[in-house]
Amino acid sequence: MATVSQLNQFPCKAFLSTPRSRNLASKPSILPQNSTKPTQNSVRKSQFLTLKAIRERPVFQVRAVYDDEYGPDKSESEEEPLTESPAVAVAEEEKPKEVSEIDSLKKALVDSFYGTNRGLKATSETRAEIVELITQLEAKNPTPAPTEALTLLNGKWILAYTSFPGLFPLLSRGQLPLVKVEEISQTIDAESFSVQNSVQFSGPLASNTISTNANFEVRSPKRVQIKFQEGIIGTPQLTDSIVLPENVEFLGQKIDLTPVKGLLTSVQDTASSVAKTISSQPPLKFSLSNSNAESWLLTTYLDEELRISRGDAGSVFVLIKEGSALLTA
């Protein structure tokens, strides 16, 4: 640090040196004799100003310590707080935003399926909206390598939407009187590398399930090859009590079923007996060994409750995990 002697090197106009004082004393004074006090006051004032300057000069000590007039290098003293803290703060703020945006996109996607009957009745405008939402979700896929996350793939997935034309005839059958496609699902067993596709029908007399069993092989981080092994027609589950609606619509015409209800009363006991007999039979299985019994599937989005896959001819499948709140959204 600068000492007092170093600070005295700065010029001060109020400072009077001793030799100068002696020379003035040796010369005849042109002032009257009673002017001694003003001279002493001037000396005292000079001493006071000198001491005051010394007291005030510590303000310049910061400048005297460093060779550089502008002080220490800012890159050494300020680099860490300027570069690290803001970056961490930004990262912490962006993560919740990303999660919230994905949830919003998933809800918007599921809402767009309303009234489309899994894609069968979707208009061109609705399909364009769905494609846009799917593209945005695929760009934010939290699982870039789905085949390496088999625990997420494992379980039962419910089909919510598809653009695959091969399923449309099946969905159309659900438009027949008294017949409804209750559910289309895909169950993946990651331990045995097996897949089961199932379609559940229901009617006033019975419910039934048709399914196919297949094995899959991992071909890339996103792609699997599926080879179907067998088809299964489940045993019809007949109801003890036959319940018919008041009317049904067929080919644009409403058919009144009230007269039919009276005829069913006399056959309730017989129907109950037949239901128990048929339901005890094993399901019917048949082999699927032809060359067309293979397909591939590319998973482009995957999380704990939503899966988006693409198949042959660019078809898309949107599936929701069983038990997810998205199924009731």
Provide the CATH number for the domain around residue 182.
Answer: 2.40.128.280
pLDDT over 50 (residue 16):
no
Q: Which of 39, 71, 103 is the last residue of a domain?
A: 71
Q: Are residues 320 and 177 part of one domain?
A: yes
CA separation for the pair 108, 9 (Å, rounded): 78
Last residue of a domain, one of 40, 71, 102: 71
**Which residue range forms the structural domain that includes residue 294?**
141-234+283-328
Q: Higher confidence at residue 172 or residue 307?
A: 307
> 196 and 301 share a domain?
yes
**What is the Cα 172 distance to its own chain's centre?**
35
Looking at per-residue pLDDT, the higher value among 248 and 315 belongs to: 315
Residues 215, 310, single domain; the answer is yes
Cα distances (Å, whole numbers) of residue 104 to 32, 101, 323 = 99, 5, 19
> How confident is the model over 128-140, as a mean pLDDT?
96
Residues 164 and 307 in one domain: yes
Rounded Cα distance between 197 and 209, Å, is 10
Instruction: Report the number of distinct structural domains present in the chain.
Output: 2
Say what percent of the chain tops pLDDT 70.
53
| 3-class DSSP assignment, residue 273 | helix
Among 16, 37, 71, the domain-final residue is 71
Q: How confident is the model at residue 116 (pLDDT cuts 50, 70, 90)?
A: very high
Residues 166 and 314 in one domain: yes
Answer yes or no: is pLDDT of 127 > 70: yes
- Give the predicted TM-score (pTM) of the model: 0.61
310 compared with 278, residue with greater pLDDT: 310
**Is there a domain that residue 11 lies in?**
yes
| b/e map 81-103, b = 16+ CB within 10 Å | eeeeeeeeeeeeeeeeeeeeebe
Judged against a pLDDT cut of 50, whether residue 36 lies above it is answered with no
Question: Per mean pLDDT, which range of 86-90, 137-141, 197-201 is the poorest?
Answer: 86-90
pLDDT at 288: 81
- The answer to whether residue 252 sits within a structural domain is no
Residue 87 lies in a domain: no
161 and 310 both lie in a single domain? yes
What value does the mean pLDDT take over residues 208-219?
92
Residue 305 has pLDDT above 50, yes or no: yes
Whether 115 is covered by a domain: the verdict is no
pLDDT over 70 at 136, yes or no? yes
Indicate whether 165 and 52 sit together in one domain.
Answer: no
Tell me, yes or no, whether 207 and 62 share the same domain.
Answer: no
In which band, very low, low, confident or very high, does the pLDDT at 4 lie, cut at 50, 70 and 90?
very low
Residue 100 is assigned to a structural domain of this protein: no
